[in-house]
Structure 1
Amino acid sequence: MLVEQLQIPLPVLTALGREDFFVSESNAMAVALVEGWENWPSRKMVLNGPAGSGKTHLAHVWAKMSGARIVAAQGLEYADIPDLADGSICVENVDQIAGNMRAEEALFHLHNLVLAQGHSLLLTGTAAPNLWNMNLPDLQSRIMAAQSAALSGPDDMLLSALLVKQFDDRQIVPASDVIPYLLRQMPRSYHAARTIVDRLDRASLTRPSGVNRPLAIQILAEMDDSSEA
């Protein structure tokens, strides 16, 4: 009982510094372009990739280098656009406002003001920019004119580093054979890595043995069962 009482959930402390971003073949080009932001053609860039691929992390890296602010595309129609345009800015999840004309118009004006005042603009989204399907043709054309980089699915090196980071963010030290086992057995995606570590975290709270291989086997089996249901 005492062990169970002591197993309280710890806060997830997400590390977003450049030193916390692992570079592999699957993201090296995007990282190089973000770090070379002062040479962006027309001072703008589009960064796209699946959920969990590191877009927000790289946005924070860029914001620290450039002094930029980071805002969500959702809600731009209510924002003070001239205020946002008073410096470099990253707008995240731009593809999620497709069809919202007020938000699209706000982003269009933000784009023009930021660049007119000599600042830089980073836009992020999940799909490739040609699939963002903005209803405002002038906005879509400006997006398509930006230099772009894609974060692709993780290779083994990146997936291993992602698992290590996910455990570190949760202040978990897994048994030494857990990550090698997961790399052999888990689905190859950012989403799977986050989901597995989250489930291991919650399942280990009442287990004095912590995150070990038997628990990893159990969690993967449960995920397989749920996907087949």
Structure 2
Amino acid sequence: MSVPQLPLALRYPPDQRLDTFVHAPAGTVEQLLALATGAAAVRTDNVYLAGASGVGKTHLLLATCAATEAAGRRAAYLPLLAAAGRLRDALEALEGNDLIAIDGLDVIAGNREDEVALFDAHNRARAAGVALVYAARDIPDAIGLGLPDLRSRLGQCTRITLSPLDDEGRREVLRQRAQRRGLVLEEAALDWLLKRVGRDLGGLTALLDRLDRASLAAQRRITVPFLRQTLGS
């Protein structure tokens, strides 16, 4: 069966690039860029991203795909939530890419058919020199995978653990993403927001999208009074 390609704008949003990720663990961007470009001199093992929801795993997967295509190579992003129960067909449809980013391993944990399909695809990819980047909420032994051989293969990947952003990290994300949208966030407005928003990267992006639309519609700068009016007290 064929797997439809995701629209370019959805696959690679402008905010989600390797160089826009805030406070990545040391060496993370270099490792993912090496996979994306296929740089022989610095080629790393396949990468496994672990971390709670909202820490930026999907950001890094999409950013790695974008970097791969920017290097003139082919990439595919596969959210397992959309492929659970038919994973073998979905993975076979992605063969021929230079890099495959697989998001949400937790979704297939305990589904033996899907686990076997992923194990087989992992082996084929390694044999063909295809780079793999995985993402899950925790390490392979802690997400409920039932197939020991799959856990072993995933355990051989370079593991990168992502943590929630601290206050300074959230401030930097808001500041950078506002700048890319042409929004001016006063320090007082940043302080107000940081007291009221969570650490989830997706939530921060959605919030700025909302503020961007609201400020454009109202033709107003983003000040504390505007935030109170738009978001409530």
TM-score (norm 2): 0.70
Structure 1 pair 130–165 and aligned structure 2 pair: CA distance change class (3 A): farther
Q: Distance in 2 between matches of 1:220 and 1:78?
A: 44
Give matches, 1:77-88, under 5 Å. 77-79=88-90, 81=92, 83-84=94-95, 87-88=98-99
- Asked if the contact 1:181–1:213 (Cα under 8 Å) also holds between the matched residues in 2, the reply is yes
Deviation at 1:20, TM superposition (A): 2.8
- Asked if the contact 2:54–2:164 (Cα under 8 Å) also holds between the matched residues in 1, the reply is no
Deviation at 1:29, TM superposition (A): 4.0
Which protein shows a greater Rg? Answer: 1
Q: Distance in 1 between matches of 2:193 and 2:94?
A: 46
Q: Distance in 2 between matches of 1:86 and 1:127?
A: 26
With a CA cutoff of 8 Å and minimum separation of 6, indicate the structure with the bigger relative contact order: 1
1:190 alignment counterpart: 200
1:61 alignment counterpart: 63
Corresponding residue SS for 1:96: helix
Deviation at 1:113, TM superposition (A): 0.2
CA RMSD of aligned residues (A): 3.3
- The percent identity for this pair of structures is 27
- Asked if the contact 2:51–2:163 (Cα under 8 Å) also holds between the matched residues in 1, the reply is yes
Deviation at 1:46, TM superposition (A): 0.1
Residue segments in structure 1 that go unaligned for 5+ positions in a row: 1-10, 223-229
- Asked if the contact 1:48–1:128 (Cα under 8 Å) also holds between the matched residues in 2, the reply is yes
What number of residue pairs does the alignment pair up? 207
1:116-137 CA-partner distances (Å, limit 9, x unpaired): 1122211112233332211222
Q: Does 1:146 align with 2:144?
A: no
Q: Distance in 2 between matches of 1:130 and 1:14?
A: 34
Q: Distance in 2 between matches of 1:77 and 1:177?
A: 51
Q: Does 1:31 align with 2:42?
A: no
- Tell me which amino acid in the other structure corresponds to 1:39: R
Give matches, 1:49-128, under 5 Å. 49-63=51-65, 64-65=67-68, 67=73, 68-74=75-81, 75=83, 76-79=87-90, 81=92, 83-84=94-95, 87-128=98-139
Q: Distance in 2 between matches of 1:198 and 1:36?
A: 31
User: Is the deviation greater in 193-202 or in 137-146?
Assistant: 193-202
Residue segments in structure 2 that go unaligned for 5+ positions in a row: 1-8, 36-41
- Asked if the contact 2:175–2:185 (Cα under 8 Å) also holds between the matched residues in 1, the reply is no
User: Is the deviation greater in 46-55 or in 117-126?
Assistant: 46-55
Q: Distance in 1 between matches of 2:176 and 2:117?
A: 36
Corresponding residue SS for 1:71: strand
TM-score (norm 1): 0.71
Deviation at 1:80, TM superposition (A): 5.1
Corresponding residue SS for 1:178: helix
Deviation at 1:194, TM superposition (A): 4.0
- Tell me which amino acid in the other structure corresponds to 1:27: P
Q: Does 1:19 align with 2:26?
A: no
Corresponding residue SS for 2:159: strand
- Tell me which amino acid in the other structure corresponds to 1:180: D
- Asked if the contact 1:98–1:104 (Cα under 8 Å) also holds between the matched residues in 2, the reply is yes
1:13-64 CA-partner distances (Å, limit 9, x unpaired): 6433333333x3x533433432344432xx3110122334332332233332
- Asked if the contact 1:73–1:103 (Cα under 8 Å) also holds between the matched residues in 2, the reply is no
